[in-house]
């Protein structure tokens, strides 16, 4: 709690009128770089420690490169093969983003329909929950067949199906889990169902939507790479990793994995940024303000 | 007869049906005139909130007749004849204080130029002029409830329905808010129906106290409050105030005995 919050809470009892006399400061101050650094320092320290221990142990115990390459070898390959792995990363990213876009769009449309029509909700949601429990990646070979394994569309289809269910189920829940008092308030104002959706349900669903989007953004890269394992063009991350591993070039494979991991973190941070931009009011951000 | 804001005749409400049916209200006859401040008081389960919600067309009567401003309650709701304040402020926490007050104005298609002007005016009226850009969570409970009142009055309804609006507030804040509501009532020319379970609150605020008793909910007595219209801390210490409190208390006891 900031000082200002404490001020407000303490004044709530007896000094309500006193609080009116002076205005309170507006938006909370932005955090400084220093406090950001302090907050993330523990994570940074443990990351460096893991790398150092990894490097030290592989050297000390003489672990063979094909079992576990040293971080220094991986970094060397990461630098040497940069154009190749980043090119592959770019093509995999296009598949992941394409699938994410298609899957999330369809999921949101389904959620809006499910929130609007009870019959649709009762008919479709149980099926969706059942489908969500199936390991959907198993569909990859079939999609390769349907959409031609050489086309990125077959990978996008796998990604779309994988991200669809978590986003759809969570967003629907958010749209439906609205405080009954808010619905009564809207009724007292003679608001139409469309108004209720626009002004109450959608804002209420945003936290649910973003929580699922964070999961989906990570899933999209996983799904794209797994779909690539089932065949298709060679210049993508999944195939590159398989090929380098088959040639016992494990530092190269690890360097490609590093690219995938950087892309995954970047995607997550973009979603996080969008979330803060679109719902600055949300309770989960208040603690850090 | 046209100045009756609320007119109920032989009105009853039963929730559910068959063996699970619960009779919430029976034989309600109630007239509320324009400019009245009527409190509904009674123990839990006496149907006072249900009566308020019937007037607001949030539920429908099972038997009898009810008109609001001479119309069907549903028509009155669609005509936006009343504003409502619930026990919890029910502010939308993604909207600033000002945008919360603008919510009814947006739904009612007020022009974008008129909305902020109206909202600021209402916030000044509830003495929250300096808090327009704050978010609800930055305000105390009493301040949030003031915002809810400003929102309910923003479109100038002829009737204000309040369902235990100060139930969650501490005693000091509560007394301040009561003073505030009386001031608003005088300044805005609104009729008020006020649900409470506090006897002093009902007496202090109202022109008329409607005492209700439970199982099934019905009106057991109506007590006209003949205190001077202008009320302040002196009112709370006057002899007549205490007499009226005693009268309401005895009416509540009597109603309870008859119900049991």
**pLDDT, tens digit, for every residue of B145-184?**
889 988 988 888 888 999 988 887 788 888 888 888 888 8
Q: Are the C-beta atoms of residues B256 and B214 closer than 8 Å to each other?
A: yes
Mutate to test the interface with B, among A188, A191, A202, A283 (most CBs of B within 10 A): A188
The reply to whether residue B103 touches residue A189, judged by beta carbons under 8 angstroms, is yes
Residue A192 corresponds to which tokens in the numbers above?
A: 């139409």
In Å, how far are B14, B15, B74, B116, B227 from B50, measured between CA atoms?
A: 10, 10, 15, 34, 28
Q: Name the region of B171 (left: φ>0; alpha: ψ -120 to 50; beta: rest).
A: alpha
For residue B65, tell me if it sits in a domain. yes
We report the CATH number of the domain holding residue B72 as 3.40.50.300
Domain A67-286 part of CATH 1.10.3720.10:
yes
Provide the CB-side half-sphere exposure for B256 (13 A, CA). 11
Q: Which stretch of DSSP H or E encloses residue B163?
A: strand B159-163
Residues of B engaging A, defined by a Cβ cutoff of 8 Å: 56, 58, 77-78, 80, 82-84, 86, 88, 90, 92-95, 103-104, 106-108, 127-128, 130-131, 133-135, 137-143, 170, 172-173, 176
Supply the mean pLDDT for chain B.
Answer: 86
And the tokens for B27? 């034989």
C-alpha dihedral over B151, B152, B158, B163, to 10 degrees? -160
pLDDT tens track for B16-30:
887 888 888 888 888
Whether A225 contacts A260, CB under 8 Å: yes
pLDDT in tens, B109-125: 888 888 888 888 888 88
Count structural domains, chain B: 1
Q: Which residue range is the domain that position B19 belongs to?
A: 4-81+157-259
Sequence ranges of the domains in chain A: 1-30, 33-63, 67-286
Residue B64 lies in a domain: yes
Interface predicted TM-score (ipTM):
0.85
Could you give the CA distance from residue B154 to residue A115 in angstroms, rounded to a whole number? 30
Q: A118-132 and A152-176 are packed helices; what angle lies between their axes, rounded to 10 degrees?
A: 130
Contact B90 A182 (CB under 8 A): yes
Give the DSSP per-residue string, B116-148.
HHHHHHHHHHTT-GGGTTS-GGGS-HHHHHHHH
Phi, psi of A91 (to 5 degrees): -65, -40
Strands B82-85, B159-163: pairing is: parallel
Given a cut of 80, whether residue B255 has pLDDT beyond it is: no
User: Does residue B177 contact residue B146 with C-beta atoms inside 8 Å?
Assistant: yes
Tens digit of each residue's pLDDT (9 = 90 or more) over A132-176: 777 777 788 888 888 887 888 888 998 999 999 889 989 999 998
Residues of A in contact with B56 (CB under 8 A): 188
Residue B87 lies in a domain: no
Q: What is the pLDDT of residues B178-203, one digit of tens each?
A: 888 888 888 888 899 999 988 989 99
Nearest in space to B49 (alpha carbons), one of B76, B15, B72, B75: B15
């Amino acid at each position: 709690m900031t000082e200002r919050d404490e001020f407000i809470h303490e004044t709530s009892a007896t000094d309500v009128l006193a609080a009116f006399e002076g205005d309170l400061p507006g938006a909370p101050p932005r955090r400084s770089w220093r406090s950001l650094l302090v907050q993330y320092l523990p994570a940074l320290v443990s990351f460096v420690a893991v790398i150092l221990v990894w490097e030290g142990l592989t050297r000390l115990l003489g672990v063979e490169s094909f079992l576990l390459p040293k971080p220094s070898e991986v970094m060397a390959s990461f630098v040497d093969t940069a154009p190749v792995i980043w090119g592959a990363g770019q093509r995999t990213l296009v598949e992941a983003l394409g699938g994410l876009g298609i899957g999330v769009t369809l999921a949101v449309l389904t959620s809006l329909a499910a929130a609007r029509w009870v019959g649709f909700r009762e008919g479709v949601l149980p099926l969706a929950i059942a489908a969500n429990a199936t390991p959907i990646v198993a569909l990859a070979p079939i999609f390769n067949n349907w959409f031609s394994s050489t086309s990125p569309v077959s990978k996008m289809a796998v990604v779309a199906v994988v991200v669809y269910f978590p986003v759809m189920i969570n967003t629907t829940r958010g749209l439906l889990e609205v405080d009954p008092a808010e619905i009564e308030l809207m009724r007292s104002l003679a608001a139409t169902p469309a108004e209720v959706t626009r002004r109450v349900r959608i804002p209420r669903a945003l936290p649910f939507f973003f929580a699922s989007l964070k999961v989906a953004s990570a899933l999209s890269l996983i799904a794209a790479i797994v779909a690539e394992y089932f065949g298709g063009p060679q210049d993508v991350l999944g195939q590159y990793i398989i090929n380098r591993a088959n040639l016992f070039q494990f530092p190269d494979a690890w360097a490609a994995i590093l690219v995938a991991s950087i892309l995954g973190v970047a995607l997550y941070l973009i979603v996080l940024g969008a979330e803060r931009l679109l719902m600055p009011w949300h309770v989960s951000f208040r603690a850090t303000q | 007869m046209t100045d009756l804001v609320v007119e109920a005749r032989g009105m009853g409400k039963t929730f559910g049906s068959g063996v699970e049916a619960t009779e919430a209200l029976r034989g309600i006859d109630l007239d509320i005139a324009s400019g009245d401040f009527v409190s509904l008081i009674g123990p839990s389960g006496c149907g006072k909130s249900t009566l308020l919600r019937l007037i607001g067309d949030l539920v429908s009567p099972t038997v009898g007749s009810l008109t609001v401003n001479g119309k069907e309650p549903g028509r009155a709701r669609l005509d936006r004849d009343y504003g409502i304040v619930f026990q919890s402020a029910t502010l939308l926490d993604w909207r600033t204080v000002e945008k919360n007050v603008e919510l009814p104005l947006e739904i009612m298609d007020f022009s974008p130029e008129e909305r902020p002007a109206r909202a600021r005016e209402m916030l000044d009226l509830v003495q929250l002029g300096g808090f327009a850009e704050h978010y609800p969570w930055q305000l105390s409970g009493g301040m949030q409830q003031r915002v809810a009142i400003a929102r309910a009055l923003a479109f100038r309804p002829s009737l204000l329905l309040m369902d235990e609006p100060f139930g969650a507030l501490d005693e000091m804040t509560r007394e301040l808010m009561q003073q505030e509501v009386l001031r608003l009532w005088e300044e805005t020319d609104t009729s008020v129906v006020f649900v409470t379970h506090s006897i002093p609150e009902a007496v202090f605020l109202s022109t008329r106290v409607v005492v209700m008793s439970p199982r099934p909910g019905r009106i057991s007595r109506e007590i006209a409050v003949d205190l001077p219209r202008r009320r302040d801390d002196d009112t709370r210490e006057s002899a007549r105030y205490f007499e009226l409190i005693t009268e309401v208390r005895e009416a509540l006891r009597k109603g309870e005995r008859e119900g049991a």
